[in-house]
Structure 1
Amino acid sequence: MRIANFSALAAISIVILINLEMENFRLNVIRICGELFLIILASVISSNSTGMAFIVSIILIISSRNINFETVLKGFLFFSIVVFLLGLLLNYCGILPSMIRIEGLRLRNSLGFSYVSFPSQVLFYILAAWVVWRKEKISYIELAILGIFTIEIYEKTRTTSPFVLSVLLIGYVLLLKIFNLSSIITRFKLTRILSSLTFPIAFFSLLWLMFKAPSSIFQKVDQMVNNRLSLSLNGIKEFGSSLLGKKAVFSGYDAFGGSLNYNFVDSSYIQSLILNGWLFTIIIIFLFTVVCVKAVREKQEYLIVVLIIISIHSMFDPQLMLLWYSPFPFLLGKTFNKDFWNEIFRLEKE
């Protein structure tokens, strides 16, 4: 049955992809092969994670190649903000219950979401999408509102990573506005190179911290990220990593905030290595790198700073490829558009 489902899905995908290309009166064999390869790969490894939802996510990403990203951002922001605010309101009215956790000196409240970190993660991606959508038009009032929400949600959830990165992002945008700067990162050659490679740098930095860093550095970083570095290392030791990944059952907290054997791997990169394998993980990092290269060459300052923040965020949080949290995986769909590569080569010549 599984083979039949995958075969049917592959056949449907072929028809969709060919029809999309025929609309442009051109068949690009290399691009279609790349799209089919990624869809088939997703189908093979889908049972390791979210099943059909994983395959659909990949198809949606590829299918979005001709959709303006600003349209994606507007749709994402509308629905995410409505769900976020409605959730908070229903929780305030006592309709949606909260998970309450006490971790040392931290009292954490999920504010109606199913886990204590979720409202912070949703708000983090709302902020990132808002900055990329508004760019230099973003006002001090907008930044103040986003900043107040960020602080208030942190006070309730005590989720460190999205809070710190959100503050850095707001601070960077403020710096650009206060000094009337159009760019900082994309102005200098070294920062342009580092920004283009932000995803591989983040990925290999994480591997270095896990396997090569002195124990003193490992312990300090692990403490800063609430033991998530240890959980990533333990996850690799327990489940291993392979070319095509494997099924792994992570034990998280239940609805009451308890767990008999917590072993959830929060890192997007390490979780992908375990569940999706090296092949898929390297492809995704490569595609994000290509997107970063184009953003840097086009001097899209706001997009590139958000991508840098997301690459760091993904070292210790699992939302990198989750479309129900983030609209930024849709940028990968642009790499399957012939105009994307034409623009990159044109920029290279210039």
Structure 2
Amino acid sequence: MSSIKVSIYQLLFYVSFIIIVGSKYLRETVFVNAYPLLSELIKVLIIIACIFLLLKYILEPHTKKFIIFSIVILTIGVVVSYNSDSFFILMPVVALILNMSNIDITKVIKVWLIEIIALMIFLAICYRLNIVGEVINSAIRSDGKIRYALGYKYSTFSSNYFFHVTIFYLYLRKHMIKYVEIITLFLINLYLYALTDTRAVFYYSTAAIVICLLLKMFKIKTYSIILNKYSMLFSAIIAGVLSWSYRYRLPFFDQLDLILTGRLRLGSAAFNNFHITFFGQKIRWIYEQNMFSELIYNYVDSSYLNILFGFGIIILLLILVGYYIIGEKKLSRDTYYTMMIVFLSLHSTFDPQLIDIVYNPAILFLGYVIYNEDEIKNLNKIY
């Protein structure tokens, strides 16, 4: 009977996880432009998934410590979601984090990999067969190079998805990865770079692949507790300091902003235009610049700054402190965890996917913050 209970709890979690990831993925494709009702269906599916997670939480036994922890986190999540009008962004992540008891994070990442790869292949086939096409606002570089969206709403999405696929694939495969797998990952990243011209994630992916290759060739199995604990914090500080300092318009910052395609300027403008709150605020992000509109593009790409302005300083601190705590635990004492957390931290410095579960299943590591070493070790043996 106990094994049946465990399977039911895990089934509720994984069904919810798959629904949330799949729904959020579809939301980023041009399918929602072609079928407007799909947006409403996606919201319904996310609500259903959250209900499943609530059911799992109610059915499972919990310690008093965990219940108090859950109440605090859930209250903060609800308040921030209300203030920032971001229920469908924040609450699914909160619900998943609070349901990580009896769940193995490596299995979650495997499920995510399978689902995202399958969805990317499905969209690629639809794009190839002209079932979906290019968005009207496909980006064009100043040199005239077209950045193809490939069935997504924006040209950067496909490369960002595959960057995360690369990082998590390397994390799971570790030293067991074959050279043909490494070459395949690089070639796909190169192909997407050629079509989308999304430079930063291509450089990150290539660097991660090269590091993985060196780790395999020289059988390196060291890890860094310092990087595990402080990568997120250092990256957040760098993002904040660089964006804040841009206001002084020194030649160095102007040149750096040019390299970062305006990210410092937009981050600096956010410091001028928005307050820093404890529990978030509703911000109307302008994602596109239209010559016929008075609205000015204002989206902040940095995950840390985006969370700071949109969700408030409490959420940002919870994430940074959470990853610090995870960095002290044994589950992070792994060469490939260090690699993963470093590249996720660097990527989050100027890209906005850190808290988005459809890109970053590693946000669910935060679900282990409340557990001690023995509890983490026995997560799948509780019942």
* TM-score, normalised by the number of residues in structure 1: 0.84
User: Paired residue for 1:7?
Assistant: none
Q: Once the 2 structures are TM-superposed, how far is the Cα of residue 130 of structure 1 from its aligned partner?
A: 0.6
Q: Which of residues 319, 340, 353 is equivalent to 1:306?
A: 340
Residue 122 of structure 1: how far off its partner (Å) = 0.7
Consecutive unaligned residues of structure 2, counting only runs of 5 or more, are 1-49, 378-383
Q: 1:301-348 deviations in whole A, cap 9, x for unaligned?
A: 1111111100110111111011111211111111133446788xxxxx
Pair 1:219-2:263 in alignment: no
Match of 1:346 in 2: none
Among 249, 254, 264, the alignment partner of 2:284 is 249
After superposition, give the CA deviation of every residue in 1:139-166 in whole Å (9 maximum; x if it has no partner). Answer: 1111111100101101111112211111
Alignment counterpart, residue 85 of structure 1, candidates 107, 118, 121: 121
**C-alpha contact (below 8 Å) 1:160/1:225 kept by paired residues:** no
Find out whether 1:182 has 2:182 as its counterpart: no
Q: Deviations over 1:223-256 (max 9, x none)?
A: 222111211121222122111121001111289x
- Measure the CA separation in 2 of the matches of 1:117 and 1:339: 39
Q: Deviations over 1:57-111 (max 9, x none)?
A: 2111220232111210111011100111111221122111113221212421101
Contact 1:108 1:156 in 2 (8 A): yes
Deviates more, 1:49-58 or 1:13-22: 13-22
Counterpart amino acid of 2:176? K
Structure 2 counterpart of 1:203: 236
Separation in structure 2 between the aligned mates of residue 340 and residue 222 of structure 1, nearest angstrom? 46
State the aligned residue count: 321
Query: RMSD in angstroms over aligned alpha carbons?
Result: 2.7
Distance in 1 separating the partners of 2:286 and 2:182: 37
Q: State the Cα deviation string for residues 250-308 of structure 1 (Å, max 9, x = none).
A: 111289xx99521111111111111110011111111012222326x853111111111
For residue 208 of structure 1, what is the amino acid of its counterpart?
V
SS of equivalent to 2:139? strand
Question: Alignment partner of 1:247: what SS?
Answer: coil
Which stretch of structure 1 is more off in the superposition, 65-74 or 330-339? Answer: 330-339
Code of the aligned partner of 2:244: F
Task: Work out which of the residue numbers 32, 38, 60 in structure 2 matches 1:20.
Answer: 60
Aligned CA distance change for structure 1 residues 290 and 216 (closer, same or farther; 3 Å): farther
Query: Identity rate of aligned residues, in percent?
Result: 23
Q: Residues 54, 299 of structure 1: CA spacing in aligned structure 2 closer, same or farther, 3 A cutoff?
A: closer
Q: In 2, are the aligned partners of 1:73 and 1:327 still within 8 Å (CA)?
A: yes
Distance (whole Å) between structure 2 residues aligned to residue 15 and residue 338 of structure 1: 25
Give the direction of change, closer, same or farther, for the CA distance of 1:101–1:298 in structure 2 (3 Å limit): closer
Q: CA 1:298 to 1:108, structure 2 compared with 1: closer, same or farther past 3 Å?
A: closer
CA-CA distance at 1:52 after TM superposition: 4.0
Stretch of structure 1 that moved more, 273-282 or 41-50: 41-50
Q: Decide whether aligned partners of structure 1 residues 61 and 342 sit closer, same or farther in structure 2, where only a CA change above 3 A counts.
A: closer
Which residue in the other structure is 2:110 paired with? 74
Report the equivalent of 1:327: 361
Task: Provide the C-alpha distance between the structure 2 equivalents of 1:133 and 1:15, rounded to a whole number of angstroms.
Answer: 30
Q: Would the aligned equivalents of 1:269 and 1:314 in 2 still touch at CA under 8 Å?
A: yes
Change (3 A) 1:195 1:331: closer
Map 1:115-264 to 2 at 5 A.
115-183=154-222, 186=223, 191-212=224-245, 215-253=250-288, 260-264=295-299
Deviation at 1:56, TM superposition (A): 2.3
